[in-house]
Amino acid sequence: MLSLGAVWEDWRRTEEVPMRRWYVPLTVLGLGGISAFLLSERGRTKLRAISKRFQQAPDRLLELNDSLQGELDRIQDALDRVAETLDPRPEAGH
């Protein structure tokens, strides 16, 4: 009688071998498809649009940074006001 572990190992070995044969052809097919798209007019248009977005990214990141910093400052002010209302005032003489 075969154990379940032995059957599993035998099944895994038979499944791995056929799949390995497909790695290179599928990779070549995928890269070929991507290359064909990028060489087409539509692909070049997409690449130009992506390039333009990357060139605008620093300006947009600076704007985002400024707005996030302002929001963090407002949150900090609100937390400071809450802390002041919760902080017990020390009494004179104690």
Q: Tell me, yes or no, whether 2 lies in a domain.
A: no
Q: Tell me, yes or no, whether 8 lies in a domain.
A: no
| pLDDT tens, residue by residue, 31-81 | 999 888 888 999 899 989 988 888 888 888 888 999 999 999 999 999 999
Cα distances from 74 to residues 8, 14, 18, in angstroms, run 60, 62, 60
Name the residue range of residue 81's domain: 14-85
Measured CA to CA, the distance from residue 82 to residue 76 in angstroms comes to 10
Q: Tell me, yes or no, whether 71 lies in a domain.
A: yes
Q: Tell me, yes or no, whether 34 lies in a domain.
A: yes
Q: Tell me, yes or no, whether 9 lies in a domain.
A: no
Q: Tell me, yes or no, whether 90 lies in a domain.
A: no
Q: Contact at 8 Å (CB) between 75 and 69?
A: no
What is the reported pTM? 0.38
Q: Tell me, yes or no, whether 21 lies in a domain.
A: yes
